[in-house]
Chain A
Amino acid sequence: MQRDTPLRAVALERAARVDIDPGLLIPETPGPYTMSEGGSLETLCASLEAVGLLCPPVLRTSGKGPVEIVLGYRRILALKALGARTVSCLQVPGEALPPVEALCMAFYDNLATRSFNSLEKGMVLRRLCAFFPERHVIDVFMPRLGLPRRPETLHVLTACDAHLEGPARGALANGTLSLDSARRLLEAEAGERDMLTDVILSFRLNLNQQARFLELLKDLAPAEGGFRGALDAVGLEDLRGDLDLNLPQKADALLQRLRHRRYPRLLQAEEAFRREVVALDLPKGVKISAPPFFESPSYRMEILFRDGRELMRHLQTLSRQERIGALRDPWKPGTP
């Protein structure tokens, strides 16, 4: 059997049990083996309160540097949140646990006990890329994370960990921002990214709406002087303050305004056609629709009927509708 890394359980044989203040262990930025970001500690806190710490976190000393957390970052965070004064840990000397083995230990320990969110996957992969060739990461580690063996996916996920900050980072971690949206946000400048994330989160755009929102904005931005210009052009702030609309209605309205801005002639045609059809006063069960984007030359009429008599009635009503004869492509002269 091939292994990703030599199996060295011996590392823990040289571990010493230490009691450490959890406040001293939590660095300002996650340590080199941390694979957790986002997610609630609530369940973990409840477990610790109920049965205490069952598995001691594993620490690694690294010369004169700070002690590094290899396993148990979230446990330490939770204990700190619960006000614990000390945490009982296993501390391994650095020479007994080289960084690559510490990283693999952290990876497999996490993998066996929980699932990773997208941001965490990016974090894990970025760290693995520091020790393993990219091809190895793609072929061996990505499938273990449930990811396709695609370089593009690796690059997007690692870029998310490397460059996403603030609310976008949190939103990707908690799943309110899709990975596709995060990828699109990364194509924007850092300042614009925050502004776009704010709109996505404050209008609570769902994943499908996020994709449409970002695609429309990207199309509009070059002609509107950037994303901000495009959002100003559709009256974003007015919409935000509109007291007559609830949040889902505002989200719909925002997308509709952007679509109008992006496809003015198409939407004008759609509306003109819709008005024309409404004015026909079609019998119930009769529907006239335009082809997608008016591209095919043929329109469609559907007639629902229960029996031949009803069909005859519909056809007679329709034959008396002189206005039907005036139906035409909505951009042609004479269309109301």
Chain B
Amino acid sequence: MRRARIRRVLLEPEALSEGMTARVLEGLGPVPLSLSTEGDGPEEGIPGSPGKDTLHLLVYHGDFLKPCPGTREYICCGYQILNLAANCPLDCSYCILQAYMNRPFLRVFTNVEEGLERALSLIDAEPGRIFRVGTGEFTDSLALDPLTRWTQTLLPAFSTRKNAVLELKTKTTRIRGLLGAPVRERIIVSWSLNSEAIAGREEKGAPGIEARIRAAARCQREGYVTGFHFDPMIEHPGWEEGYARTVALMKRHLDPRKIIWISLGSLRFMPGLKALLRRRHPESRILDSEFILGMDGKMRYFKPIRMDLYRTLARLLRGWYEDLGLYLCMESDEIWQDGLGWSPGDSAGLSGYLDGRVRLFFG
């Protein structure tokens, strides 16, 4: 995997005294550093040029733990996002962050210990509820871990909670921090998977599929529960074969009994992303297929295409192992029925199903 090349650091004065700041600067070595103010970002940023070679260290004043916004029109999983950073050193053509982020640069929040404390107090306040928490919504959970050492901070904190799990979602193979951690309990390490063709062409900077699966296998051997996310599935020439090859690699390397869940989701994006994508990734072919405006205002594949994608992948995965905790991300009851042969009915039903998987794996 290509290392993220950080060419400069912007440091907010408020972040100077944070332990995270010292850790990151020590890990980076000699890189030009300048002090920033909160206002630096938007003015310097050019829309669609997210400045991935600039690391912005700053104190985050918002809520660290937030429910995934989801959508009312489709069935959502009730996930909680632990917000540690924004933007990602990888450069996937389809990345929604290109359209969502109104501030440029890789932004790492330095007050993570304080934020984590607040998040945990919210979790502890509801002992009867299961919190499925992830850090991989607004950034890759592990891509910056060699610098930020999030794993050192987060894993011990979550491993002692009986009503929460922490899911670290990644496309990388940066698992050294995980392997060195003293705990495994209530931690899920998840990989985003695709066909090798999509990984090679559309996921710039990310390792190939086999490397990801080998990293997952290593984590399994080291005692971690794993998850996988085929999201976004992309219709492309030879997609059936492409996804079948990925499943074959999973079969070869992974123990299916150590997989808590596998989500399936197809490419969807806010309409505004299209122009950005064309400008930033002119070689991308992901817009070639038939997209319609979904009920949530996002562009998504025409329904029978999505059904076909899910049916095919579900068949491949179930042909390997029946109990993989398959679920769909942001789809309707109708598509659940057609694609997976059952439906949780609504978002509460899906939450209940995934909470059940958590209990099954972690008690």
- Cα A331 to Cα B285 with chains together (Å): 25
Known: A218-B278, A295-B295, A297-B332. A264 touches B304 (CB 8 A): no
- What secondary structure prevails in chain A residues at the interface with B? helix
Residues of B within 8 A of A (CB): 278, 285, 287-288, 290, 292-295, 302-305, 332-334
Smallest CB-CB separation from A262: which chain B residue? B290
A-B contact pairs, 20 of them (CB 8 A): A218-B278, A219-B287, A222-B287, A222-B288, A263-B290, A263-B302, A265-B304, A266-B302, A269-B304, A292-B293, A293-B293, A293-B303, A294-B303, A295-B292, A295-B293, A295-B303, A296-B295, A297-B333, A297-B334, A329-B303
Chain A residue with Cβ nearest B305: A265
Q: What is the distance, in angstroms, from B309's C-beta to the closest C-beta of chain A?
A: 13
The 8 Å CB contact of A265, one of B295, B302, B334, is B302
Pair B278/A265 contact, Cβ less than 8 Å: no
Q: Closest Cβ of chain B: how far from A329's Cβ, in Å?
A: 8
Query: Which residues of A are found within 8 Å of B333, using beta-carbon distances?
Result: 297
Contact status A266-B292, CB under 8 Å: yes
CB distance from A117 to the nearest CB of B (A): 25
Contact A265 B288, CB 8 Å, known A218-B278, A294-B302: no
A266 contacts across to B, CB distance below 8 A? 290, 292, 302
Closest 5 CB pairs of A and B: A293-B292, A331-B304, A297-B334, A263-B290, A266-B302
Which chain A residues border B303 with CB–CB below 8 Å?
293-295, 329
A223 at the interface (CB under 8 A from B): yes
Distance in Å: Cβ of A134 to nearest Cβ of chain B: 13
Binding site for B on A (CB under 8 A): 218-219, 222-223, 262-266, 269, 292-297, 329, 331
Q: How far is the CA of A266 from the CA of B303 in the complex (A)?
A: 9
Q: How far is the CB of B220 from chain A (nearest CB, A)?
A: 38
Additional A-B contact list (10), CB under 8 Å, known A222-B288, A269-B304, A293-B292: A222-B285, A223-B288, A262-B290, A264-B290, A265-B302, A266-B292, A266-B302, A293-B293, A293-B302, A331-B304
Q: How close is A186's CB to chain B, nearest CB, in angstroms?
A: 13
> CA A331 – CA B334 in complex, angstroms?
14
Instruction: Give the residue name and chain of the B residue nearest to A215 (CB).
Output: B274
- Distance in angstroms from A142 CB to nearest chain B CB is 19
In the bound complex, how far is the Cα of B56 from the Cα of A278, in angstroms?
A: 61
Best-surrounded residue of B285, B294, B304 (most CB of chain A within 10 A)? B304
**In the complex, residue of chain A having the shortest beta-carbon distance to the beta carbon of B283:** A222
A residues less than 8 Å from B302 (CB atoms): 263, 265-266, 269, 293-294
Residues of B within 8 A of A296 (CB): 295
Q: Give every chain A residue within 8 A of B304 (Cβ-Cβ).
A: 265, 269, 329, 331
Chain B residue with the shortest CB-CB distance to A296: B295
Contact of A265 with B290 at beta-carbon distance under 8 Å, contacts A223-B285, A294-B302 already known? yes
CB neighbours of A265 from chain B (8 A): 290, 302, 304-305
> Could you say which residues of chain A place their CB within 8 Å of the CB of B295?
295-296
- B290 lies within 8 A of A295 (CB): no
Name which residue of chain A comes closest to B295, CB basis. Answer: A295
Closest CB in chain A relative to B355 CB, distance in Å: 26
B88 to chain A, nearest CB (A): 25
A269–B304 Cα gap in the complex (Å)?
Answer: 10
**Cα distance A296–B296 when bound, in Å?**
11
Minimal beta-carbon separation of B102 from chain A (angstroms): 15
CA distance A295 to B292 in the complex (A): 8
Smallest Cβ distance from B163 to chain A, in angstroms? Answer: 35
Contacts of A269 in B (CB 8 A): 302, 304
Q: Bound state CA distance, A300 and B346, in angstroms?
A: 23
CB distance from B310 to the nearest CB of A (A): 14
Within the assembled complex, what's the spacing in Å between the Cα atoms of A223 and B278?
Answer: 14
B308 closest partner in A (C-beta): A331
A241 to chain B, nearest CB (A): 30
| CA–CA, A218 and B279, complex, Å | 12
Contacts of B288 in A (CB 8 A): 219, 222-223
Which B residues are CB-close (under 8 A) to A219?
Answer: 287-288
- Chain B residues with CB under 8 A of A218: 278
B344 CB, nearest partner CB in chain A, Å? 16
Q: How far is the CA of A269 from the CA of B305 in the complex (A)?
A: 12
For residue A248, give the distance in angstroms from its CB to the closest CB of chain B.
27
Contacts of A331 in B (CB 8 A): 304
What is the chain B residue whose CB lies nearest that of A220? B288
CA distance A264 to B294 in the complex (A): 18
Q: Which residues in A have their C-beta under 8 angstroms from that of B287?
A: 219, 222
Most buried by A among B288, B295, B303: B303
Docked complex Cα distance between A297 and B332 (Å): 9
Complex: A293 Cα to B304 Cα, angstroms? 11
Looking across the interface, which residue of chain B has its beta carbon closest to that of A298? Answer: B334
Shortest distance between the CB of B23 and any CB in chain A (Å) = 38
CB distance from A51 to the nearest CB of B (A): 51
Q: How far is the CB of B238 from chain A (nearest CB, A)?
A: 15
Residues of B within 8 A of A295 (CB): 292-295, 303
A182 and B79 CA atoms in complex are apart in Å by 44
Query: How many Å lie between the Cα of A263 and that of B287 in the bound state?
Result: 12
CB-CB under 8 A from A329, the residues of chain B are 303-304
Q: Which residues of A contact B290 (CB under 8 A)?
A: 262-266
How far is it, in angstroms, between the C-alpha of A138 and the C-alpha of B307 when the chains are bound? 49
Residue on B with the closest CB to A297? B334
A218 → chain B, closest Cβ, in Å? 7
